[in-house]
Amino acid sequence: MTIREKLEERERQTLSPMASLSAESRGRQFPAEPCPIRTEYQRDRDRIIHSKSFRRLKHKTQVFLSPEGDHYRTRLTHTLEVSQIGRTIARALGLNEDLVEAAAMGHDIGHTPFGHAGEYALREICPLGFDHNEQSVRVAERLENDGKGLNLTWEVRDAIRCHSSGCPSAQTFEGRVLRYADKIAYINHDIEDAIRAGVLTEEDIPFDIKYVLGRTKSDRITALVMNIVENSADDITMSPEMQKTYERLISFMFEAVYRNPKAKGEEGKARDLVKYLYTHFTAHVEKMPEEYRRIAEQEGAERAACDYISGMSDRYAVSLCEELLIPKFWQL
């Protein structure tokens, strides 16, 4: 037996009947020889981690636009926290940790610069619409690796596509774990970042929320994870009381942070910048890199502009706008 086959056999013997076994994956877009060492989901994780779109996450906004401090989250550190929480839940439930990790690593690779401000801007201006979860799948299937894609398994792509609220549930339990891990990660690290930025204090969090979840980030994450583990049987779920508390926390964060001018005051500029880039490149397709000009020929300028802009880091988008808008001084 190869090492991979031994790992597949270990999965059969140790994982829950609800788990997605690597050996029983629905497969990839294009046939590929199995790896002698890694299972299919381990291989997907590695393909994502080694991709350019994954590396660019380190310079994409999570909540605070291009934060100067070393300890604020970026889209990359958010991704790592989602992966850690997802693996913890998966391990406790006997699910496939490798599938959860691979999907977590790829769930935001199609996210825009400037966080959700960039996403909303493209959604508003592009007639095709825009959702970062669908774009993440498109990056994996179409854009990465010089247009060849990453050729990920069906299960990983399904989990990525379905991780956002408002989307249908993923077909695998691991994909449903990812959705909860994403929620738990972002709400808790956004609280911590907001406290660091002076936008919020622990004392501002309503008592009824602290009564259920605890008073620290660690307490909150532990309470949410434990509740999911204890209440998940035929599906991945929270108890009704915990779901109500989580929704109460989300509402509080929208009031205190997500709509706070101190935290989000620059988002209007970010939206305008993204819309300007979209308008410019749909009108001047020839100004985009060759790979996006090819997409424009095949799928239209709107699709190509969305692909190009959503792949930009915050700093690249700002630098490009400066290049397009600010005149250069004449040099002798």
User: Most distant CA pair in the chain: distance in Å?
Assistant: 74
Choose among 120, 138, 184, 156: nearest CA to 47.
156
Domain ranges of the chain: 35-267
Residue 68 has pLDDT above 70, yes or no: no
Instruction: Specify the pLDDT at position 261.
Output: 82
DSSP letters, 59-127, are GSBSSSSS--STTS-BHHHHHHHHHHHHHHHHHHHT--HHHHHHHHHHTTTTPPTTHHHHHHHHHHH-T
pLDDT above 70 as % of the chain: 97
Instruction: Specify the pLDDT at position 331.
Output: 65
Residue 263 has pLDDT above 90, yes or no: no
Q: Which residues pair with 28 in a beta bridge?
A: 153
Choose among 103, 105, 117, 102: nearest CA to 60.
117
Residue 262 has pLDDT above 80, yes or no: no
Task: Answer whether 281's CB lies under 8 Å from 312's CB.
Answer: no
Q: Other C-beta atoms within 10 Å of 324: how many?
A: 13
How confident is the model over 278-307, as a mean pLDDT?
98
Tens of pLDDT, residues 127-163 = 999 999 999 999 999 999 999 999 999 999 999 999 9
Instruction: Specify the pLDDT at position 318.
Output: 95
Nearby residues of 122 by Cβ (< 8 Å), 6 or more positions away:
112, 130, 274, 278, 306, 309, 310
Task: Answer whether 22's CB lies under 8 Å from 39's CB.
Answer: yes
Domain 35-267: give its CATH architecture. Answer: Orthogonal Bundle (1.10)
Task: Answer whether 260's CB lies under 8 Å from 199's CB.
Answer: yes
- Classify residue 59 by its DSSP letter: G
Q: ∠ CA 48-51-57 to the nearest 5 degrees?
A: 90
Q: Which residues pair with 74 in a beta bridge?
A: 61
Instruction: Specify the pLDDT at position 266.
Output: 81
Long-range pairs for 318-323 at CB < 8 Å and ≥24 separation? 318/66, 318/273, 320/277, 321/273, 321/276, 321/277
Position 189, amino acid:
H
How confident is the model over 235-253, as a mean pLDDT?
97
The packing angle between helices 267-283 and 301-310, to 10°, is 140
Residue 214 has pLDDT above 70, yes or no: yes
Higher pLDDT, residue 232 or 62: 232
Distance CA 272, CA 75 (A): 21
pLDDT band at 48 (very low <50, low <70, confident <90, very high): very high
pLDDT band at 185 (very low <50, low <70, confident <90, very high): very high
Choose among 309, 321, 323: nearest CA to 113.
309
Task: Answer whether 35's CB lies under 8 Å from 3's CB.
Answer: no
Task: Answer whether 103's CB lies under 8 Å from 178's CB.
Answer: yes
How confident is the model over 317-324, as a mean pLDDT?
95
Q: Rg (Cα) of the chain, in Å, rounded?
A: 21
Distance CA 302, CA 311 (A): 14
Residue 5 has pLDDT above 70, yes or no: yes
